[in-house]
Structure 1
Amino acid sequence: MRYGNLAADSNGVDDGRPALVLLHGLTFDRRHWSPVLADLALAGSNRRVVAFDLPGHGESPRRDSYGLTELVDVLHEAITEADLTAPVVAGHSLGGVLATAYAARYPVNGVVNIDQPLRSGGFADFLRRSEPQLNSAGFLNVWKTLLDGMHIDELPPSAQHLVRTATDPRQDLFLGYWRDLMHTPNDQSDENTTRTLTAIHTARTPYHYIAGTPIAPTYRTWLETALPDVQITELLGSGHFPHLVHPAAVARALAELPVPTH
């Protein structure tokens, strides 16, 4: 299936509920949602669910650049062509950034952000220090450092298999998707994020943040200040991949949005 310029898997039908849009993380592809989709199917849901390959990933074509604003526009074109009106948008890792940015610009019925902190100062500092290596033949060493921090060996075998096989860690993806972080001062990034969350709060869009490890108190305080109605869930023991370790819990979180108004 292809909508706009993005490859996708479309399941279910339009049954009156907002459709679900699923966005994977950097270097991965739409296969990472297969455990969640299996649980949705087991629960008897026939709701429309569309899992996209992000630009440059899976079966979606590469681009010359991957700025966040243009990615949101590419996603909106695909969502529009798929005839998805104000969907619930869920994203893992970098997909969580994209889901959040999308919700600030276009109508949605909810956002589920899976293990993607929205304050990126420390990570951005790491990328700036690593930029010479990212531009060299040793770029994969930077990715390995990040993977080592995700404790993949502690995941169930099926989750390990997806993380290690449904991936394509290319240099153009790292340099393209991380360019904004590397070249935007941290204080400006924080201001941009605050504006994004203010737009989501003003629109009264339900926002669910799911973490795989304990959330630092300082980050929790910041997030609850920036987004007072945020729902936070910790699915501990799943590292960076709660949707692979606890797919049923993530499926329930998706099914609960939008929040009933009556």
Structure 2
Amino acid sequence: MRFGGLSADSRGTADDRPPLVFLHGLSYDRRQWGPVLNELATVEGDRRALALDLPGHGGSPRRDSYRLDEVVGVLHQAVTEAGLDAPIVVGHSLGGVLATIYAATYPARGVVNVDQPLLVGGFGEVLRRAEPVLRSPAYGEVWNSMLARMHIDLLPPEARELVRTATTPRQDLLLGYWHEVMTESAADLGERRARDLEVIHSRGIAYDYVTGGEPDPAYRHWLESALPDVAVTVLPGSGHFPHLAHPAEFTRILTG
């Protein structure tokens, strides 16, 4: 199916339960949510759920710009066209940032951020040092070095295969979605995310942070200071993909 020009899997029917919108991470596509959607169907029957391919990913068309605020506008068009009102937005990795910006910009009832810190730290400097390689035919080396730190080896075999195959780390996606991190300071981006969280807190929007390991204490302090009611859940031994390592436990977080 297509909504707002984006490819999507649409399940369930509207009722009094908040609809769920799923956003995958950079280079992946909506197939990554398959295990969670299947678990959701078992637990919640026909709960309304929409899994989208981000612009430029999967079956969704490419764009000239992948600025995050522009991408969030495209996502909102898709959510609106699908007939969803104030969803819970579930985002993994890059999708966690997009889900946060979405809830600070458009109606939402909740955010589930899967293993994506909102402070870039030294990541921007890493990307700036790697920029010559990112712009060369050897750009895949940068992605592979990051993939090696995501602890895919901790996943069950089927989930490991999904991570390795349901992905297209194209050069235009890496350069486009990382553009702001490469060109803007970590302080400026951190202030922007802090403003997003301030809006989310003022609107009383529930925010869950689900991670595969204990968060850095300084980051956890920053997050809990910005969002005193944030729920932080660690699904241990799952690396960067806790939703794939523990789909049943993750689904209970969504439906709890």
Structure 1 counterpart of 2:204 = 204
Task: Using the TM superposition, give the Cα deviation of residue 27 of structure 1 relative to its aligned residue in structure 2, in angstroms.
Answer: 0.4
Which residue does 2:96 correspond to in 1?
Answer: 96
Change (3 A) 1:203 1:44: closer
Instruction: Give CA deviations for 1:141-193 in whole Å, capped at 9, x if unaligned.
Output: 00011001012122210111100110001000000000011001111111111
Match of 2:147 in 1: 147
CA contact (8 A) 2:41 2:47 kept: no
Q: Establish whether residue 235 from structure 1 lines up as the match of residue 235 from structure 2.
A: yes
Measured against aligned partners, the alpha-carbon deviations of 1:5-47 in whole angstroms (never above 9, x if no partner) come to: 1100001110221110000000000000011011111214211
* C-alpha distance in 1 between matches for 2:121 and 2:24: 22
Is the partner of 1:136 in helix, strand or coil?
A: coil
Q: Which runs of 5+ in 1 are unaligned?
A: 257-262
The DSSP-based 3-state class of the residue aligned with 1:121 is coil
Aligned to 1:259: none
Q: Alpha-carbon deviation of 1:69? A: 1.0
CA distance in 1, matches of 2:151, 2:234: 17
Distance in structure 2 (CA, Å) of the matches to 1:235 and 1:155: 12
Report the secondary structure of 1:207's partner residue: strand
Q: How does 1:10-89 map to 2 (within 5 A)?
A: 10-89=10-89
**Once superposed, which parts of structure 1, at least 4 consecutive aligned residues long, lie more than 6 Å away?**
none
Identity value in percent: 59
Q: Relative to 1, partners in 2 of residues 1:44 and 1:19: Cα closer, same or farther, differing over 3 Å? A: closer
C-alpha displacement of 1:207 = 0.1
- Which amino acid in structure 2 is aligned with residue 88 of structure 1? I
Aligned-pair Cα RMSD in Å: 0.8
TM-score, structure 2 as length reference: 0.98
Q: In the aligned structure 1, how far is the partner of 2:146 from the partner of 2:118?
A: 17
SS of the counterpart of 2:219? helix
User: Matches of 1:122 and 1:77 in 2, distance apart?
Assistant: 33
The one-character-per-residue Cα deviations of 1:211-237 (angstroms, maximum 9, x if unpaired) are 011111111111101111100000010
Q: Distance in 2 between matches of 1:254 and 1:174?
A: 29
* Residue 192 (structure 1) aligns with: 192
Unmatched segments (≥5 aa) in structure 2: none
User: What is the number of equivalent residue pairs in this alignment?
Assistant: 256
- After TM superposition, the score normalised by the length of structure 1 is 0.96
